[in-house]
A = this chain, B = another copy of it.
């Protein structure tokens, strides 16, 4: 998918020696022209947010013959899942991995005949140089990928096995969790730090160190601010075992990049002729007068619709003014926010021997978990790495490229970084964090409230979805769920109206 004509979004950053740091990277997700709408029109539904939840809701509502307006603060679709496409090669800036056990994204991949786009992230399948680098207390240690699996699996099982059944008794139905269950309540109150205190004595020093580094790909938060229950939930969704955890959670990506899928949904929605849109339109206020809802953007433009599908991320919701004001639990949950502060950073390095790198650098590394993720068109190695905005290991590539390069170089004496590509989700005003990872107690206290409607405003988000919450699949599921509710009540309203008109005749 080499497309040199792709224009940059404002989002993301790229650094090369030749260009230095440049804000904005090219993406299939950029929408131009940025606006196509009728400000005087009363739409059936106004969808706030063009991530997967909003795109799915827009498309489904349009297919069901509703007039839809999609508002998006960014200049692109995809929300927290998008790919920058550089010289025809996609770098996934957010949500990446997919699997056929994720029912809602699998439906989309089948819908657009894209299942053939699945590609195994090749870190283990490369000839030569296959190895894992562990940085621990300043020392470099090299082990094999098989040893890596053994160490992580052993630690993971001890960490998870709170019930002697590897969490099966706590989450028997990962797509329908009973929040009132005793085991759920107690595991949700527990932080990751609390759980580590319970099991630390059962872990070898290597197990503890590598596992803690590895978990950067899950919570990316301070250990005492991340709920232990959320890890149980991931584990249950991934079939309660380590091999599937890796296969489902961290193996298959789309050859064409996530933005190609988002584009398919957007294009189908637009193809109905029922969807208008306005990008670069950040919402400031949502005013529900009981009959119609008026949405005002930061620049003072107003838009009106009968229903709102609000997909604003949890950590951003409290920045929008709602009239009437949101219920206390919703606002409180948003103000507290989820705890994930991952910084995801790609590097293109001139080291073919790094293609099968797996690396952890914990507790003091700026990049806690890093691995080989492919070969770029220039023949270089693509590494993907997970850092954090947490204070003591704070990684901020856009303000300190040199430190970021050094974090990659730490894994290998001859590492030559040619390019960095990244999105700092924590400092993104429209995300304020990466994928959802709730703090201790939040799931059981707030989740149900987050799903509830507020008058004519309905909420859909991967942050509060049912099954794969925190994943692309959850966004698509929740966008679909809410679009059905909205469609049914709009159609019922039309029937009532027709009945009223007929009664009066």
Binding site for B on A (CB under 8 A): 63-65, 100-104, 106-107, 110-111, 115-116, 118, 173-176, 239, 244, 466-467, 477, 480-481, 484
Which B residues are CB-close (under 8 A) to A466? Answer: 110, 115
Contact of A484 among B111, B244, B477 (CB under 8 A): B111
Contact of A100 among B115, B244, B467, B480 (CB under 8 A): B467
Copies in the complex: 2
Contact of A107 among B104, B116, B176, B239 (CB under 8 A): B104
Contact A107–B103 (Cβ < 8 Å):
yes
Provide 5 A-B residue pairs closer than 8 Å at the C-beta atoms, listed in order of the A residue: A101-B101, A103-B107, A111-B484, A115-B466, A239-B244
Contact of A176 among B116, B239, B467 (CB under 8 A): B116
Contact B110–A107 (Cβ < 8 Å):
no
Within the complex, what minimum Cβ distance (angstroms) separates A252 from chain B? Answer: 9
Contact A118–B481 (Cβ < 8 Å):
no
Contact B102–A173 (Cβ < 8 Å):
no
Distance A65 CA – B102 CA, assembled complex (angstroms): 29
Distance A103 CA – B115 CA, assembled complex (angstroms): 13
Contact B100–A100 (Cβ < 8 Å):
no
Which B residues are CB-close (under 8 A) to A101? Answer: 100-101, 103, 239
Contact of A110 among B118, B244, B477 (CB under 8 A): B477
Within the complex, what minimum Cβ distance (angstroms) separates A87 from chain B? Answer: 28
Which B residues are CB-close (under 8 A) to A64? Answer: 63
Question: Chain B: which residue is nearest A111 at the CB level?
Answer: B484
Question: Chain B: which residue is nearest A174 at the CB level?
Answer: B100
Which B residues are CB-close (under 8 A) to A467? Answer: 100, 110
Contact B175–A106 (Cβ < 8 Å):
yes
Distance A107 CA – B63 CA, assembled complex (angstroms): 17
Q: A110-B477, A477-B110, A481-B110 are in contact. Are A175 and B65 (CB under 8 A)?
A: no
Within the complex, what minimum Cβ distance (angstroms) separates A93 from chain B? Answer: 26
Question: Chain B: which residue is nearest A172 at the CB level?
Answer: B120
Distance A173 CA – B251 CA, assembled complex (angstroms): 12
Which B residues are CB-close (under 8 A) to A484? Answer: 111
Contact B175–A100 (Cβ < 8 Å):
yes
